[in-house]
Structure 1
Amino acid sequence: MLLSLVIPFFNSEKKSKRLLETLAKIKQKDVEFVLINDGSTDGTYGLLKQFKASLLESNVALIDQDNRGPGGARNSGLKIAKGKYVWFVDSDDDITLESIDIVRENANSDYDFIDFNIEKSKELLNSMDLEAGEYIVTDDSRIKLLQKFGRISSKAVSRKLLIENNIFYPEYCVYEDNPLRFIYPFFVRKFLKVQAIGYIHHLEFESITRSKPSLRTYDRLYTAIYGLEAGLKLATNSEEVRVLEEKFIEKYMIESAMKFYSIKPSRYWLTTWRVMKQYRSLEKRFNIKIKPFDAIEASRFHPKVKSYLKIQWALSHSIRTDQTRYFDNIRKKTWNL
């Protein structure tokens, strides 16, 4: 089997028809579809059963499970996938047929992953910011891969690499891709970056990660910790640790603060202070050397936004108590743990 397309579905009845139409056009026997209904409460499961019944000549595996989040669904799919490569696709997005041909053409080269460009709102996105070509990863060049790994969704990844190294997603959370950027680069030895568009990212449907803040927004905190803990166990030198720390500060503190961004005083300010207070606890726990102000200054945001973040950091010192239980209780409530 060449390629396993692993696709989680959660209440996707209305937003997944475009992708299913694309899958129906794939006739090659060396491509399988691993579809996971992750506890949907709408008509998603019925739609998937109908889709499987309509493609008797194709390789379609259908899993129905209780809701464990997109990471839990992908893990279930990965465990039964048979392809040399695995591609994790979101049900409201799409892939190109050309990309499958490219994977097939390069299958004998044993790349750890093949990375495609992304089409987003009719614009081209190269999430790795690399020129097309083959890349060999050495211990000396791993820093660059940690910095430029890009998005998981644009990559067909070696199933052997994932299974043999026990690399799975965190479950019962969203933002489940974030931790893997801390982990994958340590196992990659060779990859191919291609110029072709392989993944089409659509924005017309509401998403947890694009909608207004909710209780599940706090999952980005959990997944950032998950990634840092795993990455630090794999890091072999101080430079790798530094990059992991930079990535953690960005994912845990800066991006979270921006998710709750509010110029005028609001309840979001208190949330930001709680996050920053908890970051200070984690800073001690993981012995993070980078200073928060330096990280803010090095961020991609406008100077006015950087000033806002620095002000919030100063104000966050008004929170005196540890916030671990507060955030743990939110996650337990959100996912019924």
Structure 2
Amino acid sequence: MRVILDPRIEAISTIQYLSNYSKIIPFPLLNKEKSVYTDSIDTFFSNMKDHKVLSITEKLATQGFVFDAPYYFAYNLNTQWKLEADIENNYLGTRISIKDAEEYNEAIKDFIKKSRFEEFIEIGKTIYNNAIMEVCDQIKSINAEKELENYFRQKIGESEIILSIINNGNFGVWNEKNNRKAIIIGLMGQLEKVKINTLYIRSLSWHELSHSIVNPIIDNLENIINRYELLFIPIKDKMEQCAYPNWKTAIIEHLIRACTNRLILKYYGKEQYDKANKKEYENGFVYISSLLKALEKYEMEENISFSSYIEKNIAEIMENLTPAKEHQLS
């Protein structure tokens, strides 16, 4: 996987930093501690503190346009900073209205032009390149796409890792027009001596890239899945704390975590597998044990793709969903 710094992602982070975005959301997604990089933002954009894009960012955040959604938006901007996603038939349509998307897009373009943002990126290239080289050196042995393709028995498509300097979060995004996928990794303000946990990055890559396979499957099976919506009630509070507000999203996240943990078992062994399962259970993903059992059956059926297996067996899988006891996770 190639590692890059994407000006579109950095633009969104910068706009969020300059706005009150981090005061609106209940999670510390931006590192606003004083550093060489935050000083450079404060200095370079000192005359942009009243730009309309900041108030729009805040307004959208109060409406739930947070976490991965702004980055998904940015990843679907073209080189002229114009949004190319078909919002009505796209994930973005579940997070932002067409009217708000058009308004936000125009405000971003205006900010980019008036702030000379591309000049800001150009000035910092040496710093960015050092961080990129350090990360590349640490993840050169990771081949998450191939590992996922082998597991799902389906093509994943081209993907990349995008470093985001002041971001504390990690998100998966994709551009349907170009069939490109990316994992955004927050460096939390680090620009020197970047340390990467390869197990963490590998499992994060598996998780985020899996969305491009799992989300469409669950979308197509939503009618069946919604028959079991009462199972959301016991986990609702914990899921909402993780920004998973409904049953369908919770099932997507359960299934992706189960797939990721099966890969952890394959590449890192049972001790790490048990730790991963325990962690997910403690985070509220109590149905993961049932899904792990379903995946064990899938792995034994060698001549069927993941999509076909889930579609064929979804009724049985949902019928067997039961909250695990902690001792049942290993």
Which protein is richer in strand relative to its size?
Answer: 1
TM range (shorter): 0.3 to 0.5
The normalised TM-score by structure 1 is: 0.33
